[in-house]
Structure 1
Amino acid sequence: MSPVRVAVVAVSPQARASLQALVEAAPALDFAGSAADTAGIADRFAGDVPDVVVIELEPQAGDLPVPEAGRDSAAPALVLLTDEADSEWIHEALGASATALLPRGATPSEIICAIEAVAAGLCVLSPEILARLLAARRAPRQTASAALTETLTPRELEVLAMLAEGLGNKEIARQLDISDNTVKFHLPAIFGKLGASSRTEAVLQGMRHGLIMV
């Protein structure tokens, strides 16, 4: 297999030199050049783009730039080194077909592994960035769960839990010491509040929103 051609983008000359040395020391990689910004790389490789571009993004005010080249199917894969990516920016960056997001303090072996991974068409997230992304996705779910917990009454939550156990109306009525008709009254209320049309769907929605412990 031919070596992976890698270009480097970093504002700091020291950072560019360090990344260049890292690439040149890896037998499977071929250093293709460097620039201080993505525009410089685009101009330099207009006719022969590298396989991967490693971009160090320094802390700065405002939004972090996501290279437009990352959205072009013919563009190189990206390894982005940044410490300030919020969850929204991460989603934008992952719009590229193959992207790695690592902290600026990533080890040489982590950067090399990320380069090889994106060259193979994979996406890579550091544990810290992955945790940040998952936390951002978990927050709306927790908010929705709180709203549903307020909406369902304690009795409805008990009935929902018994639906999850596979109990029928008569067994639910016996365990809760209520009538069958009362159980039948609770079911449509539970379905309506969960946006469900069946017992199974109600249970699935309850599990999704954390109303049922499994």
Structure 2
Amino acid sequence: MARLAQTAQTGPLRVAVIAESPQVRASLQALAESSPAIAFAGGAVDAAALADRLAGAAIDVLVIDLEPSASDSPPPPFDVGFAPSAFVLLTDEPDLDWVLDVLPGDAVAILPRNAPQAEIVASIEATAAGLCVLARDVFGRVLGARKPLRQSASDAPFYALTSREIEVLAMLAEGLGNKEIARQLDISDNTVKFHLSSIFGKLGATNRTEAVMLGMRRGFVMV
């Protein structure tokens, strides 16, 4: 989990749901209503319908169920009048770049659609607290192939970077910040953050400078 800015929360978390399936909406509503820490604010088939239903009411976390048939293209833009800064995305295809680009919030949880109810509730609470959450099986797909190339001197494996991660790492070596990297690659700040988390994890780095040094040592960055 990556911690972001945390704001004080008083009372139950107001949670809204977007899901194409009425059964899924009903299930998520029942889940929200069964948790004393959550207040169900409303549900709808898409963002526009939810905006009408909420009528400007504020929510803390938006839970989105993304069916496979809907994963070929992004959902409609979110109405800034109701979109929160925290999202829980339920999807079986979390490795698509647009998934991160279309979410305007900074705190995001990505879980499989069949995630246990306890995990969904925990992720709602975590994102409301400013955390980013990836389920264990989703984590592997977001980071890509994790087959070790060779052993380091300490016998700890390191893993191949994707071509996009190598681009991001090269820009780190040039001293660019997240916003400049996002602008040059035409991706969102959220996507840059996820790429950086992947790079740090694969290289075993704890900060940007160490990531660049390890990238140079392992041939991912040329000088």
Shorter-chain TM-score range: 0.5 to 0.7
Mapped to 1, the partners of 2:109 and 2:215 lie a distance apart of 34
Change (3 A) 1:138 1:95: farther
- Structure 1 stretches of at least 4 aligned residues deviating more than 4 Å after TM superposition: 141-144, 203-206
Distance 1:141 1:116, change over 3 A: closer
Q: 2:12 aligns with which of 3, 9, 14?
A: 3
Could you tell me how far 1:53 is from its partner in structure 2? Answer: 1.2
Q: Which has the higher helix share?
A: 1
CA shift in 2, pair 1:73/1:86, >3 Å: farther
Question: What amino acid maps onto 1:24 in structure 2?
Answer: E
Instruction: Give the structure, 1 or 2, with the largest relative contact order (CA under 8 Å, sep 6 or more).
Output: 2
Amino acid at match of 1:119: A
CA contact 1:142–1:209 (8 Å) conserved in 2: no
Deviation (angstroms), 1:45: 2.1
Deviation at 1:41, TM superposition (A): 1.0
Unaligned 5+ segments in structure 2 are 1-9, 146-159, 168-212
CA RMSD of aligned residues (A): 3.1
Say whether the 8 Å CA contact 1:141–1:209 is kept in structure 2: no
Higher-strand-fraction structure: 2
**What residue in structure 2 maps to residue 69 of structure 1?**
78
Look up the match of 2:28.
19
The change in CA–CA distance for 1:45 and 1:107 in structure 2 (over 3 A counts) is same
Moved more, 81-90 or 17-26: 81-90
- Deviation by residue 1:160-211 (Cα, 9 ceiling, x = unmatched): xxxxxxxxxxxxxxxxxxxxxxxxxxxxxxxxxxxxxxxxxxx855424279
The Cα offsets for residues 143-171 of structure 1, whole Å up to 9 and x where unpaired, read as: 99xxxxxxxxxxxxxxxxxxxxxxxxxxx
State which of 121, 130, 143 in structure 1 corresponds to 2:130: 121
Cα offsets for 1:55-98 (capped at 9, x unmatched): 1111116634256339x597212111011233423442565212
Answer whether contact 1:93 1:99 (CA < 8 A) is retained: no
The CA distance in 1 between the partners of 2:166 and 2:87, in whole Å, is: 34
Greater Rg over alpha carbons, structure: 1
Question: Cα distance 1:73–1:33, how it changes in 2: closer, same or farther (>3 A)?
Answer: closer
Corresponding residue SS for 1:69:
coil
Cα distance between partner residues in 1 of 2:110 and 2:142? 11
CA distance in 2, matches of 1:124, 1:41: 24
Are the aligned partners of 2:88 and 2:108 in contact in 1 as well (CA < 8 Å)? yes
TM-score after normalising by structure 1: 0.61
Match of 2:207 in 1: none
Superposed counterparts of 1:199-214, under 5 Å: 206-209=216-219
Which of 30, 33, 50 lines up with 2:39 in the alignment?
30
Partner of 2:90: 81
Q: Answer with 24-33 or 40-49: which moved more.
A: 40-49
**TM-superposed deviation, 1:29:** 0.4
Change in Cα spacing, 1:87 to 1:34, as seen in structure 2 (3 Å) is closer
Whether the 8 Å CA contact 2:51–2:82 is kept in 1: the answer is no
Q: How does 1:42-191 map to 2 (within 5 A)?
A: 42-60=51-69, 63-66=72-75, 68-69=77-78, 72=80, 75-76=83-84, 77-93=86-102, 96-135=105-144, 138-140=161-163
Task: Give unmatched runs, 5+ long, in structure 1.
Answer: 145-202
C-alpha displacement of 1:119: 0.9
Between the aligned partners of 2:70 and 2:43, the Cα distance in structure 1 is 24
